[in-house]
Structures are given as structure tokens and as C-alpha cells.
Amino acid sequence: MKTLNSLFTTALLVIAMPVHATLDVFACEPEWGSLVTELAGTRAQVFVATTALQDVHRIQARPSLIARARTADLIVCTGADLEVGWLRMVINQSGNDKVQLGKAGYLEVANFVPKIEIPVVIDRALGDVHAMGNPHFQFGPKQVQLAAEEITKRLVRLDLAGEPEYRNRLQDFTTRWKAATERWRAMGAPLKGVGVVQHHKNYSYLFEFLDMKEVGGLEPKPGVEPTSSHLNELVARQQTDPARLIVRSSYQSPAASEWLAQRIAVPAIMLPATVGGTAEAKDLFTLYDDAIQRMLKALKG
Amino acid sequence: MRHTLVAAAVAVACTAAGPAMAQNTELDRIRKDIEELRNSYEARIRALEEKLKDAETNARKAQESATQAETAAAKAETAAVQSETATATATAQAGFRQASQNAFNPAISLILNGTWGRFGNDPTTQVTGFAPSGGEVIPGRGASLGESELFISSNIDPYFRGALLVALTPENTVEVEEAYFETLALGKGFAIKGGRHFSGIGYQNAIHPHAWDFVDASLVQGSFLGRNYGDDGLQLRWVAPLPVFLQLGAEIGRGREFAGAGEVERNRNGKDSQAFFAKLGNDIGVSSSYQVGASYLRQNSGPDGVAYLDYNDITGFNNSFVGKQSISGLDFVYKWAPDGNPTYRNFKFIAEWFRRKYDGDFTFDTAGVAQTDLLNAKQSGWYAQAIYQFVRYWRVGARYDRLSHGSTNLYANAANVTAPDFDPTRYSVMLDWSPSEFSRIRLQYNRDLARQDLATGETIKDNQLFVQYIFSLGAHGAHKF
């Protein structure tokens, strides 16, 4: 019954969709969904495939995703193999030619932004290494700006009538983003040089931007669950290379970071993995605000 | 050389010059020009030299970090790994791809799997009253290698993709399990698959054994579909433009396999096999999702017939069946994970039901004396299984299997053969550990009640124990829901 109801509601929503929404956009992650909304306004109807409480590496090619990909005009995803376990299957099953690789409707942001932590050695013995580099670049202000520019190009290609609006919105976003970047730099100044341990490589771009010093990761290898021997190593490392903060993302279990926090008497905090990861992180701007504020607050203790 | 030329030019300028004043101004101008020229050249050369030096440093840095990483990787020390994924220097980051034929190599992945099995009874004995579907359904006794699957796939061009799945069997034969092309650019929700492929009927049929939740196939899938039923032919699929997932599919093929009875020799024009399926699915909130499906398969045995089960399990009989079979099925899948994040905990429930109908002629043949008459038979079967990942990497699962003998009318052959009045069942439990997406070790126990002692009519109770490993090498495949 509940399903029927939700079906009915969805049908109503589709019918009641604003008439000027011309593009149907499928965003793999909330950050790109949010960015598309910034850049397209009501000209696009955005579906976001995952949430900040989910590990995007481990999503299933669910029927609902295939259905949404079927009607999409544009798919915006991170790329760099982040969605390797499901996106290809979703697109293949959808039978939608508009969003196939190589079409204007298929955008992997990773192909248009510089990435850090590009591994020199690629071997599965090293864990889930991303050959193209760290794909969690929603926390790189420069990367987000480049993503905005590429997304706008695609919006214009797919909906030429909206070009003036897309250009205006990009300009507006760029101005606001530039100002915000300066603000975050000033806001995060006390974090400069602070040693930090992160669960997975979710915040490397943010640490680089704020000039923080990553002294270790809870995962012994990318994508591998923290082990006690590895955590003990981190405890030992605290003598030579001290961390003042332990961070994990909204989709990771708190167990490992809290265990380490107790051992080395350093605050462990949760940061939003992306937009929607905390109540405060409502869009890309508030995502950065919230992440930086949470770190500042934890340091003040 | 340049200096000589310039000097000569100056000399010429001097001799050709007129008044001394003018000569001096002219000379000064030339001197100034030469000076400027020299300065600009020197600046450019200096810039070039610096660039060269930079490039050399970068190359050395890249080489250094590469060497470091290699040495560290060799040590394979946990702590070292983080520094190992050293960021490449500017040169490497520039992202220029080397021109190479290999850049277009298809994705290749290889599955290695093997089992150790312990059976109370001979596992090759057929499930009572149901057609034997080949020894591949159940792994053998003792330690045995499973099929090694080699999967190669790639986009062919903007219009097609292609895939090949070869199974290297432990008997040292090579089987082409799947070899197909698929369209990319039909649009409007349509896709065509052509070649040899697993059929879209049911839920587990299209899933390769390495992705199963148990060592063995369910009894109904093993008996009715012969593990994975596939055909040589075409598949047309269509996804409806709806907010829920609705997929319709149709297949035609030569009927390479008579489902449940193995491969059939065919030398006929035509399409002896047709299949149809429909799937409907969606999310229920953020944590759950489901898919229901219905399918139908219709096959013709062809005039030569197919080997048909020897109900009474007496050697020396050569029974055969000429006619039609149809298989109808319903399937249901439900998956749950807290907040839709399956990393730590998740649950899935799968149930499938199939009914098979035979309509045709049955030939009872012993030592050249054959009797042929009509055969009408209906059999059905179902299974339900639940898998729960209770902590990261660890899953437990339980499955119940049941086949129903249904009704069999042998007409005149009833005098020669009796169809057993027996419903095979089986209970299975399993525990598996997957330290990564690429490896899995599994322990499984079956309480097997699928065979009857034909002499006494008593059910043979068997305890079966399996240990299985499944390893996946190479490209990261995307799995179906």
C-alpha cells in the first residue's frame, strides 16, 4: 500500500513538474546534484542517486537507478572509477543512448579537474587504489569551479535556448564561489599545519586547501577496514608525528576513530561526506562552512 | 660564425659610410642593435636552460618517488603504503597519455574458484524424478577445481559493446558460456543483445556462479534450467520511461540447450526457443528496494528428441522425448541496508518459483525394443533464500529448496515406467567472508533430502559440507542488482 502511495505521489510529482524544467539530470552524488541546481535553476530537474550516508564505492545497480537513467538527458558523476561497481551496469541496462560514454549527456567530472594522490604503483595488493587519483574532489574549491564550468558547457550544448541563463548563473556562481573560497581560507587559518588523521581519503583536497598536515589514515589501505594492528601503529606514530584531530565521514562507522581518540586523547569528529551529510551542509557552500567549522570547534575543545 | 658576419657587416658599413658624424651615429646604432640582440638571445637561452633543468629535476623526482614506491611496495608494509601512493610530480600530473595500441585493450577479468566437498552419498546420483542436468550443478567430492571464468569486454565503437565469457573447466575443456554484442545507441530504452548469452528469464539465471550466494544452484534452477540457461540468438529489451523500473524482454534462439536436459544437436532452420520476461522494481524509502519478475520459456525438442530422464534410474535405458516444453517462472528480490549503505550491514531475500510442462512423445527404449506414446507432465519447484551481512566482510545465509513431482501421464508407457511420487527438498546454510570485493571464502552445509531409495521408497538423508574460494582478478566488474 505504502509502495502504491509512493508510486502515486511520484506520478503526481512528474505531472506537476514545472513546465520550464527542460533537462532531466541524473547526478551520481549530492555535490554534483547541488551544483547542477546552482547552475541550471529550474531549467533542470535533478535526481540524486546516492546520499551522504552511503559509500559511493559500494552502491548497487538498483532498479530505481536504471529507471532514472532511462529518462535522463544528462548524467553527472565523479568518475575516476568511484562508481565503477554500478554506473556502467545502470547505463547499459537503461537503454538510453543520450547518456552513453562519449555523448554530451555523459559527464565524468574527474576528466576535467586536476587530481591529487595519483598512485605511481597500481596493484590491488595496495587496496582500492584509484588509478586516476583521489576521486573525493568535492572538497577542492578549484575542482568545484572547474566542474561548474564543464557542467555549464554541457547544459548549453543540451539546452541552447537556456544559454543566457546558464551563462549568468555560472558568472554568479563563480563570483560567490571565489568570495567563499577566500572566506574559507581566512576562516581555516587556525587549521594551518594541524596534524590530522582521516578514516578514508575523503578530505585530502580540503586538507591541502587549508594547508593541514595529514599524518595518517585509519584504513591500513584504501577501502580496507581499520585493523587493530594498524591503529596501534597510529598510536605509536603519535610520538613522532602528532595528530590533533581525527576525522571520519558521515557514512563511516565511528568505532575506529573513537577507539583511536581515546588512546591518543585527541578529538574524533564526523564531517559531512558531501551535501546532506549533516543538517547544516545543505549545499556546496554550507558543506565547506560546516566541515571547517566542525574542525575549528573540535580544536578549541 | 654570427660574430664574423656581424663584424663583416660593420666593416662594410664603415667603408661605405659618408661623413664621419653620420658614420659614428650609424655605428652606435648598429652596436646598440647587436647588444640588444645578444641580450635577448642570452635571456632566451637562459630561460631554455632553466626549463631544461626543471624538467630534469621533475623527471628525477618522478623517478625517485617511483623507485621509493616500488621498494616500499615490495616490503608490503602496512604503514608504508600511505606514503607509497606518493603523489606524482608535475610532469606526471600534466596527464598526457602516451599514444599506444594497448590503450584500447578490453577490460579483462578472471575468476578462480574451487571447492572441497564432503558428501555422505554419491553426488552424481540424479535428483529423484527430475531430469539430470549435468554434473556441473554440484561440485564433486574432495578437493576440486571449479570453472575458471575469463571475462573480456569492451565498447566496440559508439554503437556496440561486446563481451566474451569463457569457462575453463576442471576437465581441461573450454566452454564459451557467453559471447555477445549489445547495442549502445538504439535509444528510447531499447537494447539488443545478440550471440550466445544467458537468458533473462528468472532472477539468478543470468548471474554467473561466482556471484551466487551459495556454492550450488538451487534445486529448481539446476533441474529446470541446468544451472544457467542460455541460447544462441537475439534478445530485445525495453525499459519503460517511468519513475519505476519496468523492463520487458523477448528472446529467440535456436534452442541450443533444451532447458534442463543439456545441449541438443540441431540441424534445422528456425527458432526452436522463445523466451519472454518482465521485471518491475523500485526503492521503498532510502533503505530498501525490490524487484519482481515473471518469465516464460517455450522450447521445441526438434524431431530427433532429447534424452529424457530415466525415472527408475536403471542403466541401459535410452529414453527420449520429442515435443514441446514450457517453463513459467516468478521471481522476487528484496534488499535492505541501513540508510542504503550496504558496507557494514545488509540483507537480501530472493525467492523464485518455476513450473515446467512437457507435451509430446515419450520413447521407452531398452535394448532396441522401443515403445513410443504420449507424455504429459507438469512439475514445479521453488526456493527461498535470505542472506544477512551482520558485520563488514561477514555474511550468513539460509536457503530452502523444494521440487514438486506434480503430475505425469505416461499413457501406454506407464506399464514400463513409474514416475516417482516424491518431492525432493533441501536445507542449506552458509557463512562467507569477503575481505575485499575481489575475494570470498565460504563454508556451506546442506541437509539434502532430494533423493529416494528407489527400492525401499525411503528418502536418502545426506549431509553435505563445502568449503569454497572465489577470487576475482583484473578489471572491476559491475554486478546486476
Of the pLDDT bands very low, low, confident and very high (cuts 50, 70, 90), residue B55 is low
What is the pLDDT at residue B304?
Answer: 78
Mutation site, A24, A97, A99, A274, interface B, largest B CB count within 10 A: A97
Q: Residue B329: which of B379, B381, B294 has the closest Cα?
A: B294
Q: How far is B78 from chain A (nearest CA, A)?
A: 6
Is A228 part of the contact surface with chain B (CB cutoff 8 Å)? no
A-B CB pairs within 8 A amount to 189
Q: Which residue does chain B place closest to A225, by CA atoms?
A: B392
Average of pLDDT values for B310-322? 70
Give the model's confidence band at A5: pLDDT under 50 very low, under 70 low, under 90 confident, else very high: low
* Of B395, B393, B391, the residue nearest B431 (C-alpha): B395
Taking residues B183-190, what's their average pLDDT? 94
Residues A245 and A264: beta-carbon distance below 8 Å: no
State how far the Cα of B419 lies from the Cα of B90, in Å rounded to an integer. 76
Residue whose cell numbers read 566437498: B117
Q: In this model, does residue A7 exceed pLDDT 60?
A: no
Least confident interval from A105-109, A200-204, B74-78 = B74-78
Contact assignment for A53 to B340 by CB distance below 8 Å: yes
Judge contact between B341 and B307, C-beta under 8 A: no
B61, B82, B389, B390, best to mutate vs chain A, most A CBs in 10 Å: B82
Query: In the prediction, which pLDDT does A248 show?
Result: 97
Beta bridge partners of B142: B117
**pLDDT digit string, tens, across residues B188-218:** 999 999 999 999 999 999 999 999 999 999 9
Which pLDDT does position B141 carry in this prediction? 86
* SS3 letters across B207-268: CCHHHCCCCCCCHHHHHHHCCCCEEEEEEEEEECCCCCEEEEEEEEECCCEECCCEECCCCC
Chain B segment 294-323 residues within 8 A of A by beta carbon are none
Contacts A229 to B, Cβ<8 Å: 78
Show residues of chain A in contact with B290, CB under 8 Å. 63
Cβ within 8 Å of residue B267, ≥6 positions away: none
Q: Which helix (H) or strand (E) holds A45?
A: strand A44-48
pLDDT at residue B61, rounded to an integer: 59
More confident residue, A65 or B43: A65
Q: Identify which has the larger pLDDT, B414 or A227.
A: A227
- The answer to whether the beta carbons of residues A47 and A29 sit under 8 Å apart is no
pLDDT the model gives residue B90: 36
Rounded CA separation A100/B347 (Å): 31
Whether B134 has a pLDDT exceeding 70, the answer reads: no
**Which has more confidence, B318 or B142?**
B142
Q: What is the pLDDT of residue B24?
A: 65
- Which pLDDT score, from 0 to 100, does residue A3 have? 53
* B472 has pLDDT over 70: yes
Strands B262-263, B288-300: parallel, antiparallel or unpaired by DSSP?
unpaired
Confidence band, pLDDT 50/70/90 cuts, at residue B412? confident
pLDDT, tens only, B249-264 = 999 998 888 887 777 7
Instruction: Judge whether residue B149 has pLDDT over 80.
Output: yes
Q: What is the mean pLDDT of residues A221-245?
A: 94
Q: Give me the pLDDT at residue B164, please.
A: 97
- Indicate the residue type of A216: G
Which residue among B182, B341, B438 places its CB closest to the CB of A53?
Answer: B341
B182, pLDDT greater than 80: yes
Looking at residue B76, its pLDDT comes to: 41
| Amino acid type, A119 | P
pTM assigned to the model: 0.84
Beta-bridge partner residues of B152? B108, B164
Burial B118-148 (b: 16+ CB within 10 A, else e): ebeeebeebbbbbbbbeebbbbbeeeeebbb
Q: Select the residue of A7, A50, A223 nearest B244 (Cβ to Cβ).
A: A7
Non-local CB neighbours of B277 within 8 Å, separated by 6+ positions: B200, B201, B202, B247, B248, B249, B250, B293, B294, B295, B296
Q: Report the pLDDT averaged over residues A144-173.
A: 97
* Cα distance between residue A301 and residue B13, in whole Å: 83
Give the pLDDT confidence score for residue A45 in this predicted structure: 96
Mean per-residue pLDDT, B100-110: 84
Q: Is the pLDDT of residue B71 over 50?
A: no
CA-angle at A228, arms to A224 and A232, nearest 5° = 115
For the ranges A282-291, B284-293, B404-413, which has the lowest average pLDDT? Answer: B404-413
Question: Which A-chain residues 38-57 have CB contacts (< 8 A) with chain B?
Answer: 50-51, 53-55
Pick the more confident residue, B432 or B316. Answer: B432
Mean predicted lDDT score pLDDT of chain B: 82
Tell me: the pLDDT tens digits for A93-103?
999 999 999 99
pLDDT of residue B477: 77
Contact A67 B243 (CB under 8 A): yes
From the list B399, B359, B350, B357, the residue with the least C-alpha distance to B380 is: B357
Q: How confident is the model at residue B398 (pLDDT cuts 50, 70, 90)?
A: very high
Chain A segment 73-112 residues within 8 A of B by beta carbon are 81, 84-89, 92-98, 100-102
Residue of chain B minimizing CA distance to A236: B79
| Residue in the structure block whose three cell numbers are 549489445 | B182
B169 to each of B136, B147, B173, B431, how far by Cα in Å?
10, 5, 5, 26
Contacts of A3 in chain B (CB under 8 A): 282, 284
pLDDT at B455: 83
Pairing mode, strands A268-271 and A245-249: parallel
For residue B74, what pLDDT is reported? Answer: 44
How confident is the model over A78-89, as pLDDT tens digits? 999 999 999 999
ipTM: 0.89
Average pLDDT of the residues in A271-278: 97
Average pLDDT over residues A187-191: 96
- Measured distance CA(B68)–CA(A259) in Å, rounded: 32
> How many alpha carbons lie under 13 Å from residue B35 in its C-beta half-sphere?
6
Q: How confident is the model at residue B378, as a pLDDT?
A: 94
Q: Is the pLDDT of residue B8 over 90?
A: no
| Contact across the interface for B69 and A121, Cβ inside 8 Å | yes
DSSP calls for A68-132: HHHT-SEEEE--TTTTTTTHHHHHHHHT-GGGSTTSTTEEEGGGGS--S---SS--GGG-S--TT
Average pLDDT over residues A227-256: 95
pLDDT on residue B18: 43
Work out the number of other CB atoms within 10 angstroms of the CB of residue A86: 23
Q: Using pLDDT thresholds of 50, 70 and 90, give the confidence band for residue A141.
A: very high
Indicate the residue type of B423: D
User: Residue B16 has what pLDDT?
Assistant: 44
Inspect the interface and report whether the beta carbons of A220 and B78 lie closer than 8 Å: yes
Residues for chain B: how many in total? Answer: 481
Higher pLDDT, A14 or A256: A256
CA distance A98 to B454: 60
Q: Which is higher by pLDDT, A106 or A129? A: A106
Q: Centre a 10 Å sphere on the Cβ of residue B481 and count the other Cβ atoms it contains.
A: 23
Higher pLDDT, A56 or B50: A56
- Report the percentage of chain A scoring pLDDT > 70: 93
Measured between beta carbons, which residues in chain B are less than 8 angstroms from residue A129? Answer: 85
Which is it for strands B148-155 and B142-145: parallel, antiparallel or unpaired?
Answer: unpaired
Residue B60 binned pLDDT confidence (cut-offs 50, 70, 90): low
For the cut 90, the answer to whether the pLDDT of residue A60 exceeds it is: yes
Residue B91 pLDDT greater than 50, yes or no? no
Q: What is the pLDDT of residue B50?
A: 67
Q: Bin A80: left if φ > 0, else alpha if -120 < ψ < 50, else beta.
A: left
The position carrying cell 538451487 is B218
Distance separating the N- and C-terminal Cα atoms of chain A: 49
* pLDDT above 90: percentage of residues in chain B: 52
* Distance from the B28 Cα atom to the nearest Cα atom in chain A, whole angstroms: 53
- Gap between the Cα atoms of B366 and B201, Å rounded: 36
CB crowding A134-151: b at 16 or more within 10 Å, else e = bbbbbbbbebbbbbbebb
Given a cut of 70, whether residue B79 has pLDDT beyond it is no
- Note the pLDDT of residue B264: 74
Residue B85 pLDDT > 60, yes or no?
A: no
Give the pLDDT confidence score for residue B19 in this predicted structure: 46
DSSP assignment of A205-258, as one string? Answer: HHHHHTT-EEEEESSSSTTSPP-HHHHHHHHHHTTTS--SEEEEETTS-SHHHH
User: In the predicted model, what is the mean pLDDT of residues A143-160?
Assistant: 97
Q: What is the structure's pLDDT at B266?
A: 72
Q: Is the separation of the CB atoms in B317 and B294 below 8 Å?
A: no
Nearest CA distance, B303 vs chain A (angstrom): 37
Cβ contact B429:B216 at 8 Å: no
- Determine whether the interchain pair A121/B84 forms a contact, defined as Cβ–Cβ distance below 8 Å: yes
Cβ(A199)–Cβ(A252) below 8 Å: yes
